C-alpha cells in the first residue's frame, strides 16, 4: 500500500473518531441541560400547586373558622379526624386535597407532585390545637400562635432541636402550616436536612437543591408555609375575627 493511501486512511479514522466523540459530547450535553430544564419545570409546577393549596387552606379557614387537619394514608385525601380538633398526624400527614376540593387529585384522593409523590401538610398544635378546632382561633389570642408553639422552618438541620432551630438560621418561627413536597427522590431520605422533614416534629428545613456531596447530603424538598398574619387577615375579611 502506498504511503499516501495509508495517511489518508489514518486521517479518515481520526475524523471518524472525532465525529463519534463530538456526537457523544453533544448527546450528553443535551441530556444534562435537558434534565436540568425538566427539573426546573417540575419544580415550578409543584410550587404553583402549593400556592393554590395555600389559598385553599385560607378559603377553608374563612369558611369554617379553622384550618383542616392533615389527611392520613388511609383517609383518601380527607382530613383526619373529620371535623378537626386533635389531628391524627399533625406533622407527618398529607394535604387533605379532597376536603379542600382541590383539582388534579389521584385515584386515592391525594394531590401529588411532579414526581408522583403525595404532597404533605403539617399544622400547628399551638394552644391545645386551637388552629384546627372549630372557633379555636377566634377564642385564642394572636400571641398563642407566636414562636413558642408554632412550626419552624430553618436553613439547615445542623444545630436544630425537636422544637427550635437552635443554632441554625431560622427562616420563620411562627408558621401555622407547612406544605411539603419530597421532590424527585420521594420515598427515600437523601441527607440529614431531608431527614429533618420526616421526623414528626414541628421543625422543618428548607434551602436550595443540593447534591449528595454537600455537607448535609442530597436535598430537593420543596416547602411553602402559611404565616399567621395571612390567616388572621383572611379570617378577619370573612368576619371570623374582629
Mean of the pLDDT values across residues 106-116?
93
Give yes or no for residue 12 having a pLDDT over 70.
no
Spatial CA neighbour of 69 closest among 60, 56, 80: 80
Mean of the pLDDT values across residues 8-33?
54
Give yes or no for residue 38 having a pLDDT over 90.
no
Lowest mean pLDDT among 82-91, 149-158, 180-189: 180-189
HSE-CB at 83 with a 13 A cutoff on CA atoms is 0
State the residue for C-alpha cell 438541620. Answer: 157
Give yes or no for residue 77 having a pLDDT over 90.
yes
Q: How far apart are CA 205 and CA 194, in angstroms?
A: 7
Q: What is the percentage of the chain residues whose pLDDT exceeds 70? A: 81
Q: How far apart are CA 151 and CA 130, in angstroms?
A: 14
CB-CB contact of 135 with 128 (8 Å): no
pLDDT in tens, 149-169: 689 999 999 999 999 999 999
Global pTM value: 0.82
pLDDT in tens, 201-232: 999 999 999 999 999 999 999 999 999 989 99
> 85 — alpha (psi -120 to 50), left (phi > 0) or beta?
left
Mean of the pLDDT values across residues 11-17?
61
Average pLDDT, the chain: 86
Beta bridge partners of 172: 153
The vertex-235 CA angle with 229 and 238, nearest 5°, equals 140
Give yes or no for residue 32 having a pLDDT over 50.
no
String of DSSP letters for 20-54: HHHHHHHHHHHHHHHHHHHHHHHHHHHHHHHHHHH
- What is the band of 37 on the pLDDT scale with cuts at 50, 70, 90? confident
Amino acid at each position: 500500500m502506498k504511503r499516501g493511501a495509508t495517511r489518508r486512511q489514518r486521517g479518515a479514522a481520526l475524523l471518524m473518531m472525532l465525529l463519534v466523540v463530538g456526537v457523544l459530547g453533544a448527546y450528553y450535553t443535551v441530556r444534562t441541560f435537558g434534565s436540568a430544564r425538566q427539573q426546573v419545570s417540575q419544580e415550578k409546577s409543584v410550587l404553583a400547586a402549593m400556592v393554590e393549596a395555600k389559598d385553599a387552606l385560607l378559603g377553608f379557614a374563612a369558611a369554617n373558622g379553622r384550618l383542616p387537619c392533615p389527611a392520613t394514608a388511609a383517609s383518601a385525601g380527607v382530613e383526619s379526624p373529620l371535623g378537626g380538633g386533635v389531628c391524627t398526624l399533625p406533622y407527618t400527614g398529607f394535604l387533605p386535597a379532597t376536603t379542600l376540593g382541590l383539582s388534579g387529585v389521584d385515584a386515592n384522593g391525594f394531590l401529588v407532585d411532579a414526581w408522583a409523590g403525595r404532597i404533605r401538610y403539617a399544622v400547628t398544635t399551638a394552644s391545645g390545637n386551637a388552629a384546627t378546632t372549630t372557633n379555636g382561633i377566634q377564642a385564642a389570642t394572636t400571641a398563642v400562635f407566636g414562636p413558642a408553639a408554632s412550626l419552624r422552618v430553618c436553613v439547615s438541620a445542623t444545630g436544630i432541636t425537636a422544637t427550635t432551630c437552635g443554632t441554625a438560621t431560622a427562616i420563620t418561627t411562627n408558621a401555622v402550616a407547612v406544605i411539603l413536597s419530597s421532590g424527585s427522590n420521594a420515598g427515600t431520605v437523601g441527607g440529614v436536612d431531608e431527614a429533618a422533614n420526616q421526623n414528626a416534629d414541628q421543625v422543618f428545613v428548607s434551602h436550595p437543591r443540593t447534591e449528595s456531596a454537600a455537607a448535609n447530603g442530597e436535598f430537593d424538598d420543596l416547602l411553602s408555609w402559611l404565616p399567621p398574619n395571612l390567616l388572621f387577615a383572611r379570617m378577619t375579611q370573612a368576619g371570623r375575627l374582629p
